[in-house]
Amino acid sequence: MSELNNIALKILKNGKGILAADESTGTMTKRLESVKVESTKENRIKFRETLFSAKGMSEYIGGVILYDETIKQKTNTGKEVPRLLSEMGSIAGIKVDTGAKKLAGSPNEKITEGLDGLRDRLKEYSKLGAQFTKWRGVYNISKDYPSKLSINSNAHALARYAALVQECNMVPIVEPEVLMDGDHSADDCFKKTSEVIKKCFEELLLNKVDLTGVILKPNMILAGSESNNQITYEETAKLTVKCLKESVPSEVPGIAFLSGGQTEVQASENLNLINKFNDTNFIMSYSYGRALQQSALRHWAKDINDVEGTQAVFDHRAKMCTLAAQGKWSKNLENI
């Protein structure tokens, strides 16, 4: 077994998942302002440190995706963040793309940037303790989108990123996110997501990426958030498994879903059913941002010094997600 495969399995084994705490300063500012907390450097690390030192980290969270600011920050007790994570039994990861920008040639779509100088940045992050990385491509569904141009150019960028990351002995998370926005059907989501993922693997292979050392971070198959034809959780789970079975090469060890705007409970319920229907060898776990942090953030905002209370809320959410990653979640465990 390769070293990269070992890292990927360590992150996702036994129902463990990933905490996506890699919000860029702009996104984190929106999140904090939505709960009326000022977005200062101190407040950003205070919230993140509260989660990273929660008891549930060692049992449920195999890896944490950090943002550039956070991986270089020290906690209030003076510890480097990657060291704190490692003491909590979790692995530090880092978002290395520099964001999605207007795609020349199709200005209503986006291309993710960040390849320039990436080799040197990766060396720096590796020295800081990161063992895995993340790059997100975003795609919109509408009558004309995603265009071939967007599918091809984002796949190309994701593959060049992944090849550079493996050269630096880290595991790349490949995240092609087909957004929920819009009124498209679940069938459209299935078709477009399949096309996007297949193209990504075609490019990954062309770039000689070792698929046993990759984690795929896809969206689930859902109808658009404005569609009148929503599908059931069971249909989502079945379509999601079918899509991945048909589009992902069997060498890939693990899939960690994004939550993409689903509520915390929806994201757990869907993941649970996906695992019930999972007849592949892929580990199917989570790499949630909002669906792991929302309720903890709301609790914390009421009193940013309530470390224990916030951690209890976070621990509950992480436990629910890990149970879902094992197909052991049920609604009555939510106490709602």
Catalogue the active-site residues: 217
Would you say 213 or 260 has its CB closer to ligand 5MM? 260
Interaction of residue 31 with ligand 5MM, rule CB under 6 A? no
Helix axes 41-52, 307-325, angle to 10 degrees: 60
CA distances from 159 to 32, 153, 175, 279 (A): 33, 10, 11, 27
Q: How far apart are the first and last CA of the chain?
A: 43
Of 2, 27, 169, 330, the one binding ligand 5MM by CB under 6 A: 27
Of 12, 15, 22, 56, the one binding ligand 5MM by CB under 6 A: 22
* CA 28-30-34 angle, 5° bins: 115
Q: Kindly identify the residues of this chain, within the stretch 126-155, that bind ligand 5MM according to CB under 6 A.
A: 136
Cβ atoms within 10 Å of 104's Cβ, excluding its own: 9
Interaction of residue 177 with ligand 5MM, rule CB under 6 A? yes
Q: Kindly identify the residues of this chain, within the stretch 224-263, that bind ligand 5MM according to CB under 6 A.
A: 258-260
Would you say 148 or 162 has its CB closer to ligand 5MM? 162
Q: How far apart are CA 123 and CA 136, in angstroms?
A: 20
Would you say 87 or 113 has its CB closer to ligand 5MM? 113
Q: How far apart are CA 182 and CA 186, in angstroms?
A: 11
Q: Kindly identify the residues of this chain, within the stretch 283-312, that bind ligand 5MM according to CB under 6 A.
A: 288-291
Q: How far apart are CA 298 and CA 171, in angstroms?
A: 32
Would you say 48 or 290 has its CB closer to ligand 5MM? 290
Residues at the contact surface with ligand 5MM, assessed by CB under 6 A:
20, 22-24, 27, 99, 136, 177, 258-260, 288-291
